[in-house]
Each structure stands twice: as C-alpha cells, then as structure tokens.
Amino acid sequence: MPSLVYRIVVGVKVWLAKHWKGEPGETFRATVGKLSEAASKHIDSSNAADIAVESVRRVAIGKISHDHSEVVRNYAEEERTRIEAELARRTLRSQVRQSESKAEQEELTIRKLRDEEMLRRLELFAKLQEKNLMPIWDGQGRMTMVRPSKDFDWNGVLDALVSPDEFRDEPPKKRITKSNRRRSKKR
C-alpha cells in the first residue's frame, strides 16, 4: 500500500545565471560534488531509501507547514538585502581597482578571495556536520539532503574536501634562463 510522505523541497535560484555558469558556480558545484561523492560512498541502506523516494512519482504539491514557508521567505528577504550590500561592495571594489591597478594589490585580493572561499567551505562543512546532513547531487541536478549514520566518517569527507596543497602558497615561478638551464643540466 502506498503511503504519503512529506518532504521539504526548497527551490533555489541563482539570480545571475552567468555566476552560476561561470567560475563561482563551477567552484560551488565542485565542492558540493566532493561532498556528494563522499556521501554516496558511505551511505547506508536507510539513507539510500531516502534517495529512492526521489525517483517515485510526485503526487501532489502543497504546503507542508506554515513555519517552513515563513522561514524560507525570511531567508529570501535577508538574502536579497545581502545581495544589495554585496553589489554595493563590488561596485566600490571595482572603483578602487580602477584607481589602483597595481599587480601586487591584485594578487593580494586574489589571495584574500581564495582564503575566504576556503573559510566558507569549511564553515559549510561544519554546518552540515552540526545538522548531520550530507548533500547528494543527483543526475537531474537536484540536491537531496540525507542524514548519515552515526559511524559516518566526517574526517574522511573533510580530507576529500580540503587538499593539503591548498594551504601552500604557489612557489615563485623560475625564469628559464641560459644559466638556469646549464645549472639544471649539471645536476
């Protein structure tokens, strides 16, 4: 006998399609992809059932609870405020960049952005661990959140998520000169 199971589905939209298709989206998808891969490896049968539900035909769409819709609406409004702030910040940043286009500052900005990405990646991981959730990215691009079992290897996921090389700064590029080439041949 079929029974009705309620699920919480949140439709997510990225305002600027070019961000989603560009580098930000690629980085985001790569991280979620790593999480998803790790989750798929360690998932037990009860979690697998969660995903199986997704392949079952959807019967009806309606509101489950007032709380959830209210909370997501609040989230959306807050997010829009953050977008405005971010847009303003970026406009300012591009103005600054126009006036000070020194290569050194550019490099510093890139390094800062890389650090910020890493920090937020770890924060995302911490949040998922705190809520005991792991995303699984299905073939249709839907992200299903599953609850891992108690013995889930969170450290293993963290290892997959953060490569030790990322903490290293890139070595300065050596210029290939005749004397360098001669020296390396001698060795």
Partner 1 sequence: MDYSRLFIEHLDLIDNVSRAAGRRRRLSPTEQEDLESVVHLRLIEDDYKKIREFTGRSTLRTYLTVVIERIALDFVQEHWGRWRPSRKAEQIGSVAVLLERLIDRDEHTFSEAAEIIRTNFGFALSDHELSRIRGELLSQGANAIKRPRTQKSKPGATSQFEIVFPPDFPAPDVKEVLTAFADYFRACGGIGLTADFEGEQVKVREGVNA
Rule CB under 8 A: which of 141-160 touch partner 1? 141-147
Tokens of 87: 């847009």
The stretch near partner 1 (CB under 8 A) out of 113-121, 149-157, 166-174, 179-187 is: 113-121
Instruction: Evaluate whether 134 touches 128 at the Cβ level (below 8 Å).
Output: yes
* Separation in Å, CA 182 to CA 171, 178, 185: 21, 6, 5
Which of residues 62 and 171 has its CB atom nearest to partner 1 in the complex? Answer: 62
Which of residues 85 and 153 has its CB atom nearest to partner 1 in the complex? Answer: 85
From 134, 135, 152, 157, residue interacting with partner 1 (rule: CB under 8 A): 135
154-161 and 103-130 helices cross at what angle (nearest 10)?
160
SS3 of 72, please?
helix
Tokens of 91: 């406009």
From 39, 121, 134, 152, residue interacting with partner 1 (rule: CB under 8 A): 121
- Report 72-111 residues binding partner 1 (CB under 8 A): 72-84, 86-88, 90-91
Instruction: Evaluate whether 38 touches 156 at the Cβ level (below 8 Å).
Output: yes
Instruction: Evaluate whether 135 touches 36 at the Cβ level (below 8 Å).
Output: yes
112 binds partner 1 (CB under 8 A): no
- Report 165-184 residues binding partner 1 (CB under 8 A): none
From 93, 111, 131, 181, residue interacting with partner 1 (rule: CB under 8 A): 131
Which of residues 49 and 108 has its CB atom nearest to partner 1 in the complex? Answer: 49
